[in-house]
Amino acid sequence: MDRHALRPIRPLGLLEGIEIIDQRLLPHVLHWAKLKSASEVARAISEMWLRGAPLIGAAAAFGLALALRDDPSDAGLESAATRLAATRPTAVNLAWASTRVRRRVAAVSTQDRASAAWHEALAIAEEDAAANAAIGEYGLALLREIAVRPGRGARQLRVLTHCNAGWLATVAWGTATAPIYKAQAAGLPLEVWVDETRPRNQGTSLTAWELGEAGVPHRVIADNAGGHLMQQGLVDLVIVGCDRVAANGDVCNKIGTYLKALAAHDNGVPFFVAMPLSTLDLELADGAAIPIEERSAREVTHLQGITADGRVIEVRVVPEGSGAANPAFDVTPARLVTGLITERGIVAADAAALRALADAGSKLSA
Amino acid sequence: MDRHALRPIRPLGLLEGIEIIDQRLLPHVLHWAKLKSASEVARAISEMWLRGAPLIGAAAAFGLALALRDDPSDAGLESAATRLAATRPTAVNLAWASTRVRRRVAAVSTQDRASAAWHEALAIAEEDAAANAAIGEYGLALLREIAVRPGRGARQLRVLTHCNAGWLATVAWGTATAPIYKAQAAGLPLEVWVDETRPRNQGTSLTAWELGEAGVPHRVIADNAGGHLMQQGLVDLVIVGCDRVAANGDVCNKIGTYLKALAAHDNGVPFFVAMPLSTLDLELADGAAIPIEERSAREVTHLQGITADGRVIEVRVVPEGSGAANPAFDVTPARLVTGLITERGIVAADAAALRALADAGSKLSA
């Protein structure tokens, strides 16, 4: 499992930019796009060429390095940080990565700032990959434990996931998918229910594509189907990613996550959230304060697919004259979350556990 | 409000067939299709040219009349009834309408059977329209009551609906939409949140189209969004239709209904089901015994839309090689249902209330 969704480009020591997969064309076309400036990175994040909280955090860090290459002044840094932070208001990783880079370069001379920022971005990317690998190991242990629960029988584990928290959403491994890829490597039989994830179809376009490329058995389902599958005993656990987790364990993730959490709770199905610590926002007391991005109605009224003769085109599905609303995220209350799978182990979604986790992290990095 | 989704054709006393809107082409094209035989009716139901529990019940009754026109024998009747019943296993109206027609013609001479069946089908259609109008009146009273609840303020009522239980799903008025159309006629301001209803998009294609034609304010939302809107206080009540209601009040309806009922319950939002008595199945103790139709994976992997230059085409959205599962209905437990809006008033979703309702009906029709 060495798939990466972001490649730094630095020929001969020059900071040229980054390469990312233009995810708007998946699953039909795999195209790597070069982003050579902070404004190109900002545009790519805003237009969702790349997405996923961890990945946009890392990309924003590289974006700041590119901004400092072009203007290493404090004003240039702040201007670029503001522009990058505005691209997606919900994910906390953008602010987190930006703060890390700014702290790193604060005391550095202007001529060395770009290089220092670049190295911080590389560190963020490497830490993300390592964190996800660790999430995968803790998640694998969880899957093994659930697989042998009494009454399950010998059939393969069935995991439901929503949206894409795969390697396409991170620097490597993915968060919610890391335990799945680790389980596959360990020979633990499983099948994944892939929520389509309207309106942008990240499940259909990205998660199904990822799992297919990796040879992981999976079936796509309409977002409407998960509750019924749980009622029928066809889901052993749910694992999703997150865009931001508040101090009390409330989880902000892709719109529709809350509905799956309700159904899991109603049917006694474990509901886990894969959460790298970069996604934890202890400054927010609870989920009510998380800004929910409202995206374009066009994401609901139009969608992209491929024709029988191989052309990727957009079609309108809503009648002319009908409007649409498009909140992009929702908040799942901590009471519905069985646990958070982090790079330091699985913890309860409550204030005490998250505080202890963060304190342990501060000691580790101190 | 005189829109009808089914027109009997009987020139010069001959039973020619029925005309129905081919709903597969909506919202892009309004096309009336003629169905001239029982097998054409069966095919149209199976392929969902028409759908909606009340409408397919009425259409099946006309189909039986056409079957008797061509073969009035007992064997011909049973063969046609079996073929029609197999088209959609979940909706109880098919069996209900078929039983009514067969009882009506049982003691009739073969030469008069087709005509007797035709009149029974007409009666079913007329009763459906009348039942829905009555549901509309009871529902309007409910909307008026909710509109003046303390703390709501003066803004318009916001109603969320799932799938299409509109006039396109019935002979006239619709079930879940009847209160909405009555409210509009009465000048009660409201806005409708229209669940897209993947995978077949009946909300987008049919409900949004209906409401747009009628000038009712509405916005389409992804199926994922309803829970978040309820959390935000943006939904005053939910009204959905149903395909079958069990004796204990469990409601079988379009896949995804259960998720919205969970969210409504979690947020204290009233969740009502518009239920003509033809949809009540007292022979089923609870919803667990309702057969859930599994439809083609292609409904998930492909979808239809209109291109910028006006061509209605189908595109694939799921990667090649990824499979899909497609359960078409789910069961909402009675405990999540605030009430059932019937043509005889609003009743609780429990065994005693439904038994009393059915007994009162038997006395009325006795």
Collect all residues of chain A within an 8 Å Cβ-Cβ radius of residue B323.
218-220
Q: Best mutation site among B198, B318, B329, B331 for testing chain A: the one with the most A CBs within 10 Å?
A: B318
Select the residue of B193, B199, B331 nearest A222 (Cβ to Cβ).
Answer: B199
Select the residue of A193, A209, A327 nearest B225 (Cβ to Cβ).
Answer: A327
Q: Best mutation site among A26, A168, A220 for testing chain B: the one with the most B CBs within 10 Å?
A: A220
Round the average pLDDT of chain B to a whole number and report it: 94
Collect all residues of chain A within an 8 Å Cβ-Cβ radius of residue B327.
225, 228-229
Residue A89: the pLDDT is: 82
Q: Which of A128, A243, A281, A330 is catalytic?
A: A243
Residues of B with active-site annotation: 243
Select the residue of B196, B204, B228 nearest A330 (Cβ to Cβ).
Answer: B228
pLDDT of B362 strictly over 90: no
Residue B366: the pLDDT is: 45
User: What's the whole-number mean pLDDT along residues B97-119?
Assistant: 95
Select the residue of A224, A255, A308 nearest B256 (Cβ to Cβ).
Answer: A224
Collect all residues of chain A within an 8 Å Cβ-Cβ radius of residue B198.
196, 198, 222-224
pTM: 0.94
User: What's the whole-number mean pLDDT along residues B336-346?
Assistant: 98
For residue B98, give how far its alpha carbon lies from the nearest alpha carbon of chain A (Å): 29
Collect all residues of chain B within an 8 Å Cβ-Cβ radius of residue A317.
196, 201, 204-205, 303-305
Q: Which of A302-306, B40-44, B114-118, B154-158 has the lowest mean pLDDT?
A: B154-158
For residue B128, give how far its alpha carbon lies from the nearest alpha carbon of chain A (Å): 27
**Residues of chain A falling short of pLDDT 70:** 1-2, 363-366
Q: How confident is the model at residue B2 (pLDDT cuts 50, 70, 90)?
A: low
Q: How confident is the model at residue B14 (pLDDT cuts 50, 70, 90)?
A: confident
Q: Which residues pair with A33 in a beta bridge?
A: A20
Q: Do B262 and A259 touch (CB under 8 A)?
A: yes
Annotation says A286 is catalytic = no
Residue A151: the pLDDT is: 81
A-B CB pairs within 8 A amount to: 222
Collect all residues of chain A within an 8 Å Cβ-Cβ radius of residue B193.
325
Q: How far apart are the first and last CA of chain B?
A: 31
Residue pair A246/A213 in contact (Cβ under 8 Å)? The answer is no
**Quick check: helix, strand or coil at residue B316?**
strand
Collect all residues of chain A within an 8 Å Cβ-Cβ radius of residue B313.
307, 313, 315
Select the residue of A228, A254, A300 nearest B220 (Cβ to Cβ).
Answer: A300
Q: How confident is the model at residue B364 (pLDDT cuts 50, 70, 90)?
A: low
Residue B1: the pLDDT is: 53
Q: Could you give the CA distance from residue B233 to residue B281 in angstroms, rounded to a whole number?
A: 34
Residue B4: the pLDDT is: 87
For residue B114, give how far its alpha carbon lies from the nearest alpha carbon of chain A (Å): 40
pLDDT of B151 strictly over 90: no
Residue pair B301/A220 in contact (Cβ under 8 Å)? The answer is yes
Residues of chain B with pLDDT > 70: what percent? 98
Q: Model confidence over A70-116: pLDDT tens digits?
A: 999 999 999 999 999 999 888 788 999 999 999 999 999 999 999 99
Q: Could you give the CA distance from residue A15 to residue B50 in angstroms, rounded to a whole number?
A: 60
For residue A193, give how far its alpha carbon lies from the nearest alpha carbon of chain B (Å): 9
Collect all residues of chain A within an 8 Å Cβ-Cβ radius of residue B231.
258, 330-331
User: What's the whole-number mean pLDDT along residues B207-229?
Assistant: 97
Q: Model confidence over A279-332: pLDDT tens digits?
A: 999 999 999 989 899 999 999 999 999 999 999 999 999 999 999 999 999 999
A4 to A55, A309, A344, B23, B117: CA distances (angstroms): 10, 30, 22, 45, 66
Select the residue of A302, A305, A327 nearest B317 (Cβ to Cβ).
Answer: A305
Burial class (CB in 10 A: 0-12, 13-18, 19+), B12: exposed
Q: Which residues pair with B192 in a beta bridge?
A: B159, B218
Collect all residues of chain B within an 8 Å Cβ-Cβ radius of residue A263.
258-259, 262
For residue B39, give how far its alpha carbon lies from the nearest alpha carbon of chain A (Å): 30
Q: Do B204 and A318 touch (CB under 8 A)?
A: yes
For the complex shown, is ipTM > 0.90? yes
Q: Do B300 and A327 touch (CB under 8 A)?
A: no
Q: Do A224 and B262 touch (CB under 8 A)?
A: no
Q: Could you give the CA distance from residue A228 to residue B264 in angstroms, rounded to a whole number?
A: 17
Q: Model confidence over B44-77: pLDDT tens digits?
A: 999 999 999 899 999 999 999 999 999 999 999 9
Q: Do A307 and B327 touch (CB under 8 A)?
A: no
Residue pair A184/A20 in contact (Cβ under 8 Å)? The answer is no
